[in-house]
Amino acid sequence: MKKIIRLIPILALAVSCKKDGEVSGTTVTTTTSAVIPAVYNKIFGASSITSDGTYITVKTKGVPSHKSCYWPTSNALYEAFATGSTTFNGESFQKAPNQIVEQNYIFKIPLKPALNSSHAATPMGAIGFALDGVPLFNQYAAGGVALGNEKKGFDQYYGHPQMTGSYHYHVEPIYITTVKSTKSSLIGFLLDGFPVYGPDENGAAIAAAALDTYHGHTSVTEDYPSGIYHYHVTATDPYINGAGFYGTPGTVTQ
């Protein structure tokens, strides 16, 4: 009888360790909502989502689930987009020579994001991710210059690949805001763990004056009824993020 009593907690620990914080693809297999909040169920482009109680780790291939002229022509998602077609903010599309290539991103973001008064600058490259697993980039092109003519290379869903084939968004990911969800919905997270929302709030376009220098503000959202700081995408520079992260950024590896 004593041996049986000693084995019970060991077995219970084994079961809980196997289940806690485990997500496969887009299907949550854990029942511990305190480990992975339900809001992360909205991420539909992850290969896995886990948590250690301090950070949420999201692994993605970094490729869109929508059509693009930047897929290889052999890919079922390839769709031509003619030169001169209208893309972001009325720009006349000019296709770049790059193609979409799968990556291996690991995003590690704080489970409980908090203000960091140092407001670290966003890096070149991924500063967060959209719900489809595609990286979000800041408002600069290579060399830290304004996007300028680079916007002409945005495809029919306002994304494009860099030379390594890494597809990304600098601006509103309209596949999410117009096909998968709405203009006021959650579209992703930055590395500091704070959410990013579309260009609308309470049924109207968010005014730039309502956002701070980091391109966000604190208010109630559908996913955070108690309120939270969050970023908004807008149609004008800086598009997703302004003068740096509002909180302490986690990490991204590729």
Q: Nearest 5°: phi and psi at 188? A: 165, -165
Amino acid at 149: N
This model's pTM is above 0.75: yes
Rounded CA gap, 244 and 122, in Å?
5
Residue 16's pLDDT band, with cuts at 50, 70 and 90, is very low
pLDDT at 176 over 50: yes
Plot region of 251 (φ>0 → left; ψ -120 to 50 → alpha; else → beta): beta
Please give the average per-residue pLDDT across 168-188, as a whole number: 98
For residue 209 the two structure tokens come to 């004056």
Q: Nearest 5°: phi and psi at 89? A: 55, 35
Helix (H) or strand (E) holding 196: strand 195-197
Nearest one of 180, 229, 236 to 209, comparing CA atoms: 236
- What pLDDT digit, counting tens, does each position of 99-142 carry? 999 999 999 999 999 999 999 999 999 999 999 999 999 999 98
Rounded CA gap, 216 and 200, in Å?
12
Ranges 15-24, 138-147, 153-162: which has the least confidence: 15-24
Residue 209: predicted pLDDT: 84
Residue 31: predicted pLDDT: 33
Distance of CA 207 to the CA centre of its chain: 22
For residue 193 the two structure tokens come to 């763990």
Residue 143's pLDDT band, with cuts at 50, 70 and 90, is confident
Residue 18: predicted pLDDT: 35
* Residue, of 243 and 27, whose pLDDT is higher: 243
Residue 133: predicted pLDDT: 98
pLDDT at 2 over 50: no
Q: Where are the alpha helices (H) located in 97-246, listed in sequence order?
A: 174
